[in-house]
Amino acid sequence: MQAKRTRRQTRQWPDQFDIHVAMRLRQRRIELGLTQPELAAKLGVMFQSLYKYEHAINRITAGQLYRLSKVLDVPVTFFFEGIEAGLTAQSRSRPPKAGR
């Protein structure tokens, strides 16, 4: 019988969607002239948490994404705008996998 995996053992690197959302969050914060501590205070989180969101270290939950959209005065869809173009560019820059 195998031991149950812990979260640390199963944690994967952030995927391209997490990275894109994190970049859009940082972009909007900078556009508004907010510092990480200022935005974190508006969200009710520590600025270290916001730092981790912006660097895709921690994933942003749906609830937190909704709160971010309200504080940053953008629709939730803002965080996903341009994601298709980014995915297309990434797929062109990757070499094909072996056997395909």
Residue 2 covered by a domain: no
- Tell me what pLDDT residue 39 has: 97
- Split into its structural domains, the chain has a count of 1
Residue 58 covered by a domain: yes
CATH code for position 72: 1.10.260.40
Residue 42 covered by a domain: yes
pTM of the model: 0.74
Q: Give the CB-side neighbour count of residue 92, counting CA atoms within 13 A.
A: 6
Residue 5 covered by a domain: no
Distance CA 97, CA 93 (A): 12
- Tell me what pLDDT residue 98 has: 53
DSSP 79: G
Residue 26 covered by a domain: yes
Residue 99 covered by a domain: no
- Tell me what pLDDT residue 100 has: 44
Mean pLDDT by 10 residues, the chain (100 residues): 59 84 96 96 95 95 96 96 74 51
Domain that holds residue 55: 15-86
Residue 78 covered by a domain: yes
